Structure 1
């Protein structure tokens, strides 16, 4: 495999070594004096910047966070937070859905126009943005290595990762994060989660942001953004070792995220999502995919107490048929979660998880909590990533087809580099490093 070009070293690249930055596997570079000033939890994030003019510019914009841009399979969500008396508040938010049946190429063509409209119609401040790679846009592997110093670990991961990824010889970038110590026989080893993404995909995503007039400062990955959106709630001393599970059920797939305190310990992606459930309902009720999707959204909205006044309540008989249709898909997700929990318990000798939280556009699917509650003895809930955030109602348009759990990725992206997320011991950790040019 050819040595990947590192976009971090491109002219004009912006780097922020915050809680969301993965270790680089090729060793460390000379640290920019501005990096330390951008650490999460800093009370005065720009004090170390040189030059009164630059410091004054940053001071004027320091109350506003980055613009989080979540480009998913179903649509685009854009969110920016602002400091309001020390607490986060929504500065601006926008959500646009792609046309039904739009393919990947058509969706990409629509994104710059969508973003330009969002920026022109809503009160976003500045143009610095953070985006993410989602399901199918990056690869991920778990690797176990002997305990060693961090500088040696970089080289070891590079060597081990050479043959682990199927990249077709394409230039790629790699990042990793330490997941924790594991016992392998009589040895203690370090388990690391290694991520890879082909540079073509990264460049394409950055180009979409540039075309909209945004200045990308980092490229994240969606599972890490999800974790970040919820670890901001971990403020008690006992939360340091709390184990929590987050299941993001999206349009094309689902992601299992297990955290210990503020550390991300386990990730898995499952190829079951809303599209598969829509297909099952369409087949069972002899509907089109679009009609099946609309029916499921109506059921989810009614379950959340948000039934549209111009639509009738879905009959119990129809609800039962929809539940039967999606049951196999949800049971598959449930089985995979159980396997992940067993692996986590054996590998990390971890404590019992405190909670299981559903997020994503499909989080309100009634079958999820019904089937999980009978299969897994862990309290489950639907996650609200914007809980406690002022003006969160700006994300809930009356005619939206998705509910607040779908904002988890956008929230995590908007929180990147913010003072509202506790610093993780994974330093750096939980996202693909800054890749902006």
Structure 2
């Protein structure tokens, strides 16, 4: 729990204040800004942990509201106007192109455009949009629009929570837009044209790619700080010494270890207070961080290819997960890109003369609430109400529906014409491809027939003979790695979990109850990881087995087989 209350005794004049409220899956974070001056002034910020029963499944809105109230009290936050955000798979963000038209008419057409991309009716959607520029299509300059939509019931649920806490929601936005806002408020070097913002939360990670400060691509991935913590919980520990019973780490213990030791490098030595070697800690965390790396790399590759960008120049990490020790260096080394931690408080004043150095460690975690509290009129909001129509004369009352009808006809004509042009171009392309393929079609048929014959012949052999695995080498490497107190029971080649064409080997066994049983499992995993033919060693299953006269620890390990190693 974090609570910082900055006295307003040094506040210069009065004015409006705005609260940025980030309701996460593990934390509630609140930040109050004084918006009366050009230089924003932070009046208070609070970070409070949600109780364990509120981190999973459906939440009681009243219970969440009580946590928010506690934050407001703890931080002596008096403002009532709040900006909140929604996140998750139900958030729809899309760049679209629309023909030139007046703003009032565009507002009428946009909802119908949104229904093309989501399975909700206009009445079920909360949406807003921002015109980010112009895009030339077939010689015509069209409007380049960033459209955001989400089911209304999701927005209403968030609004009900903050109202129960005694606050007034003035805007609802989405995570990528908040990241974009924060970057706009910060400083950026001219050579850093393409910046990736990586917000690592407890439940998900948001990727936002911006080119010259313009949001171009967003993606949400299910790799999070929670997954890193749970990977550490796989460590088996022994209570006390001798023949004590087995236990695993609690979530809090694993979280504390993660915060204190981070992601150790391969050269670090030593153990945690619980007796876990830093080498083992690195092995346990690496699969999750490798998955994060793969998702980031995939997103970058897609963006570079789709938007014709030479490269991503820089990564800015935010969120609670961004502060994991060693993560910044890991990503920078693997991606070959500069990585820095976000600091939204650059150029920001603090009431009471509090030094920025006092909050430097928590700055990345407050990017979202800071961006929310910096919301301004004109920024995207899913609470945006349709502008009221001006009073019209009787003649204009008759003309207005006709004008809207003409507009819709023009819009339909424009979209249909564009679609027809695309279809014609695609058809011409396919015809050319078909002509080029006709010359080799006979050979392809012959090869296909030959392939079926060879496959039938291959299927006649026993399955085990078809796997190109050096069984003797595998058994020898396992023999050299396995501890003395561990009995090997089964080795499987898992066909359903193939990874990038590589085979996965599962190792089943039981470690018997000795003082060093828990550490011996760590050493076994570390030895397999160091073997030249195994990679990505993971603990799949660990449970106590009392079926023997001496208690045992039944386990299942999974590792990737590298057959090309000499």
TM-score for both structures, normalised by structure 2:
0.54
Q: Does 1:71 align with 2:27?
A: no
Work out the CA distance in 2 between the residues paired with 1:318 and 1:167: 52
Gaps of 5+ in 2: 1-11, 237-247, 266-270, 386-566
Equivalent residue, structure 2, for 1:50: none
For residues 98-127 of structure 1, what are the alpha-carbon distances to aligned partners after superposition, in whole Å with 9 as ceiling and x for unaligned?
Answer: 013423544633222223233334343431
Structure 1 position 404, deviation (Å)? 2.4
Contact 2:92 2:150 in 1 (8 A): no
Structure 1 position 85, deviation (Å)? 7.1
Work out the CA distance in 1 between the residues paired with 2:200 and 2:314: 16
The structure whose RCO (Cα within 8 Å, separation 6+) is larger is 1
Equivalent residue, structure 2, for 1:253: 204
Cα distance change on mapping 1:188 and 1:144 into 2, 3 Å: farther
Work out the CA distance in 1 between the residues paired with 2:96 and 2:82: 34
**1:118 paired residue among 49, 55, 71:** 71
Equivalent residue, structure 2, for 1:199: 152
Cα distance change on mapping 1:188 and 1:271 into 2, 3 Å: farther
Equivalent residue, structure 1, for 2:367: 408
Q: Does 1:327 align with 2:280?
A: no
Equivalent residue, structure 2, for 1:376: 335
Structure 1 position 395, deviation (Å)? 9.6
Q: Does 1:345 align with 2:304?
A: yes
Structure 1 position 407, deviation (Å)? 0.5
For residues 380-400 of structure 1, what are the alpha-carbon distances to aligned partners after superposition, in whole Å with 9 as ceiling and x for unaligned?
Answer: 0111222332339699999x9
Structure 1 position 250, deviation (Å)? 0.4
Counting matched residue pairs gives 354
SS of alignment partner, residue 384 of structure 1: coil
Equivalent residue, structure 2, for 1:81: 33
Contact 1:249 1:274 in 2 (8 A): yes
SS of alignment partner, residue 181 of structure 2: helix
Structure 1 position 232, deviation (Å)? 1.0
Cα distance change on mapping 1:344 and 1:154 into 2, 3 Å: farther
Gaps of 5+ in 1: 1-58, 304-311, 419-427
Equivalent residue, structure 1, for 2:84: 131
SS of alignment partner, residue 95 of structure 1: strand
Contact 2:263 2:325 in 1 (8 A): no
Q: Does 1:92 align with 2:36?
A: no
Cα distance change on mapping 1:86 and 1:187 into 2, 3 Å: closer
Equivalent residue, structure 2, for 1:274: 225
Equivalent residue, structure 1, for 2:544: none
SS of alignment partner, residue 76 of structure 1: strand
Equivalent residue, structure 2, for 1:287: 249
Work out the CA distance in 1 between the residues paired with 2:213 and 2:318: 18
Work out the CA distance in 2 between the residues paired with 1:375 and 1:183: 37
Contact 2:178 2:368 in 1 (8 A): yes
For residues 255-300 of structure 1, what are the alpha-carbon distances to aligned partners after superposition, in whole Å with 9 as ceiling and x for unaligned?
Answer: 0011233322211000111121122221245423332222212224
Cα distance change on mapping 1:417 and 1:203 into 2, 3 Å: same
Contact 1:280 1:326 in 2 (8 A): yes
Structure 1 position 222, deviation (Å)? 2.0
For residues 220-248 of structure 1, what are the alpha-carbon distances to aligned partners after superposition, in whole Å with 9 as ceiling and x for unaligned?
Answer: 11221122123212377x48x83211100
Structure 1 position 182, deviation (Å)? 7.0
SS of alignment partner, residue 29 of structure 2: strand
SS of alignment partner, residue 207 of structure 2: strand
SS of alignment partner, residue 333 of structure 1: helix
Work out the CA distance in 1 between the residues paired with 2:83 and 2:58: 22
Work out the CA distance in 1 between the residues paired with 2:164 and 2:174: 21
Structure number, greater radius of gyration: 2
Contact 1:182 1:347 in 2 (8 A): no
SS of alignment partner, residue 331 of structure 1: helix
Equivalent residue, structure 1, for 2:324: 365
Work out the CA distance in 1 between the residues paired with 2:188 and 2:229: 39
Contact 1:76 1:97 in 2 (8 A): yes
Q: Does 1:227 align with 2:180?
A: yes
For residues 332-356 of structure 1, what are the alpha-carbon distances to aligned partners after superposition, in whole Å with 9 as ceiling and x for unaligned?
Answer: 2222222322333233333543320
Question: Which segment is superposed worse, 357-366 or 327-336?
Answer: 327-336
Work out the CA distance in 2 between the residues paired with 1:126 and 1:179: 32
More helix by share: 2
For residues 153-203 of structure 1, what are the alpha-carbon distances to aligned partners after superposition, in whole Å with 9 as ceiling and x for unaligned?
Answer: 656643443242245998221233456667899998776543322222211
Kindly report the root-mean-square deviation, in angstroms, between the aligned alpha carbons of the 2 structures. 3.9
